[in-house]
Amino acid sequence: SAVISQKPSRDICQRGTSLTIQCQVDSQVTMMFWYRQQPGQSLTLIATANQGSEATYESGFVIDKFPISRPNLTFSTLTVSNMSPEDSSIYLCSANLRGDIRIVETQYFGPGTRLLVL
Amino acid sequence: TQLLEQSPQFLSIQEGENLTVYCNSSSVFSSLQWYRQEPGEGPVLLVTVVTGGEVKKLKRLTFQFGDARKDSSLHITAAQPGDTGLYLCAGARNNQGGKLIFGQGTELSVKP
């Protein structure tokens, strides 16, 4: 398994501002992902953070709104830009690692960042 | 279109009861993961199943992967209040860049 940390753990922001969320993995990983989740609901993939190239965004998410950096194999950031109350959510990062099942990579998650936009 | 149908979405039971959560798809998965998430935390991996027909046990939890690798189930025996949480199934497919397809989640509440 892996230890994945996120900062900040929670924040309250004013509309129109931007927040950058950091994700740190304690080992080098190939794939990192960013998700959004409403409390009690399932996860929605925002994008795949690619090391050394631009992130790959899912339908409904764009780079101008959610710019992502992946400067190395252990770190990524997600920025939520020009925030509105609709951006209030839990933001999760994850990483794929070969764990106990060595023939496949398994995805491990950070603790999440709880964002409230007023 | 939901590629992985998870049911039930809500389940409230008494301590000591048994329960089963299902995840079904028309697609074949190379592996399937089950996660449990508590409020204020990220999803925690419970198990990964890879082989069709595979059964894995984790204390009172039994996970099964369908023979055709299109469906999976989680059975909890003698549920306890500590089992309360959001259970998520997620499937991986070949050539998808490591992305997971998540079910809708099952919110389980076990009352003492």
- Considering only CB atoms, which chain A residues are within 8 Å of B7? none
Question: Which stretches of chain A score pLDDT less than 70?
Answer: 1, 99-104
Instruction: Give the C-alpha separation, A42 to A44, whole Å.
Output: 7
Query: What SS3 state is found at A85?
Result: helix
Q: What is the pLDDT of residue A106?
A: 84
How many A/B residue pairs have CB atoms within 8 Å?
A: 67
- Considering only CB atoms, which chain A residues are within 8 Å of B50? 101, 103-104
State the smallest CA–CA distance between residue A17 and chain B in angstroms. Answer: 24
- The full length of chain A comes to 118
Secondary structure letter of residue A86 according to DSSP: G
B16-69, pLDDT tens digit by residue? 999 999 999 999 999 999 999 998 899 999 999 999 999 999 999 999 999 999
Is the pLDDT at B1 greater than 60, yes or no? no
Instruction: Give the C-alpha separation, A52 to A63, whole Å.
Output: 16
Tokens in use for B57? 């046990």
Instruction: Give the C-alpha separation, B35 to A95, whole Å.
Output: 14
List the Cα angle B65/B67/B72 in 5-degree steps. 25
